[in-house]
Amino acid sequence: MSGRPRVGVITFPGSLDDRDAVRAVASMGGSGVRIWHRDRDLDGVDAVILPGGFSYGDYLRTGAIARFAPVMEEVRRFADRGGPVLGICNGFQILCEAGLLPGALIRNRQLRFVCRFVHVRVETSRSPITTGLVPGEVLPVPVKHGEGQFVAADEDLERVEQEGLVVLRYCGPDGTVDDRHNVNGSLGAIAGVRNEAGNVVGLMPHPEHAVDPDVGPTGGQPMLASFLSYALARV
């Protein structure tokens, strides 16, 4: 092992942030491995990223068709073995549709596409993207989505909150959580959640677009650094 975790980045028809994810992984010291949606082998990777975009044109529902892609069978097996899986934006939607994460993502409350930098507050260190962070830390990251409103049935939302499955919440620069900073109307201002085992996480903001200081804030750096460290610790 070279100390560079191999991160598989899956490309679905309509993915558009897969190259950015590979580039961001490399810039943070990992090795990005391109994986096609029809592949049935993850090529021995140490972690998996489902990137943002519009898989299968977002027909039917966001992520609803991608969940049936051949590669998702192996992603599920990888997750069941404890492998770290990160779904970003459309990847988050796919993981929810596949039942690997709780809840669902629907149209933004304002019924408009939103594209801007936001702040998110870390709610737990028990996830692949926050293992090196402290609850309460605030990170600037961009969002760009039309269907990012997190919703769940009352009993599911209660479980998500009580079991500490919320990873990130939309907030102000000082960490204040209120409706002004809830960019899409998500219940509880939830921006990211994890599974019960703690190895699968999804978020609507894009950490892969926030690693280069030459183009903007770098709130994605500590998240991806945590993700790589988490993957390396399992090797």
Catalytic positions are 89, 206, 208
Helices 18-27 + 220-233 axis angle, to 10? 80
Distance (Å, whole) CA 124 – CA 165: 8
Give the number of other CB atoms < 10 A from CB of residue 135.
Answer: 12
Say how many C-beta atoms besides its own lie within 10 A of residue 181's C-beta: 18
DSSP H/E element including 191: strand 190-194
Measured between alpha carbons, how far is 144 from 124 in angstroms, rounded to an integer? 24
E-state strands within 51-199 = 85-88, 104-106, 114-122, 138-145, 149-151, 166-171, 190-194
- Indicate the length of the chain as a whole number: 235
Please give the backbone phi and psi of residue 75, each rounded to the nearest 5 degrees, phi first: -60, -40
